[in-house]
């Protein structure tokens, strides 16, 4: 298997070349194009419980497996948003990521919902994804992505954190006091501690939604 990230960082896409018999697991809706030798199969990886855990983590209940049959072939894989794609090689490792960041993987990798560090914050949608195993993991960012080597502590607005290694501990809080947060909308922030890598995107989908909100069409009822 070979791959190339093209059109990065604004509109990145994974172009993957599979030899006969090789497969890639892809988030539904992310396949852009493929050769006729690439055959898709939709399945519930890991059974019902694993599918439910993926769904709770913001990913799809089912996953698509694309396999090269009758010869080698190419497949294009892209997220639904504009931005970059990060490749992370896992060697019996675990990383955590924000909902919607997962794109595809090759190898023995499992994904499931993660509550670690998110307890008590369900109202904020702070339920992440746990990815573990051995293989190549591809995940996306909204905008460009910066890799930070955390040595000690680091603070990020929760809308900008994409993924982080399991060697990092983290906690969630607000940037201000409760009353101030209620009145002025202070940010929900993630505080990371320890030594490990952290991936941060340069744009926030939540901030985009807040910016677009005042311009949305509003229907009025008239007699």
Determine whether domain 2-210 maps to CATH 3.60.160.10.
yes
pLDDT of residue 122: 38
DSSP string of 75-114? Answer: EEE--SSSB-EEEEEEEEEEEEE-TT-EEEEEEEEEEEEE
Q: What is the pLDDT of residues 120-175, one digit of tens each?
A: 343 344 567 889 999 999 999 999 999 999 999 999 987 898 999 999 988 877 76
Q: What is the pLDDT of residues 142-155, one digit of tens each?
A: 999 999 999 999 99
């Amino acid at each position: 298997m070979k791959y190339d990230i093209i059109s990065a960082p604004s509109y990145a896409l994974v172009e993957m070349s599979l030899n006969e018999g090789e497969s890639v697991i892809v988030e539904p809706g992310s396949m852009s194009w493929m050769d006729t030798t690439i055959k898709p199969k939709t399945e519930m990886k890991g059974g019902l419980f694993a599918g439910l855990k993926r769904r709770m983590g913001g990913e799809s209940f089912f996953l698509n497996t694309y396999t090269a049959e009758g010869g080698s072939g190419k497949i294009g894989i892209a997220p639904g948003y504009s931005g970059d794609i990060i490749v992370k090689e896992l060697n019996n490792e675990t990383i955590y990521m924000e909902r919607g960041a997962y794109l595809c993987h090759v190898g023995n990798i499992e994904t499931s919902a993660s509550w670690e560090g998110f307890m008590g914050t369900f109202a904020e949608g702070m339920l992440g994804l746990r990815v573990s195993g051995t293989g190549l993991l591809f995940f996306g960012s909204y905008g460009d992505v910066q890799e930070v080597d955390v040595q000690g502590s680091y603070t990020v607005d929760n809308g900008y954190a994409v993924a982080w290694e399991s060697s990092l501990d983290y906690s969630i809080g607000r940037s201000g006091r409760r009353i101030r947060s209620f009145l002025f909308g202070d940010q929900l922030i993630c505080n990371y501690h320890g030594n490990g890598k952290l991936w941060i995107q340069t744009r926030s989908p939540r901030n985009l939604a807040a910016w677009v909100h005042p311009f949305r069409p509003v229907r009025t009822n008239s007699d």
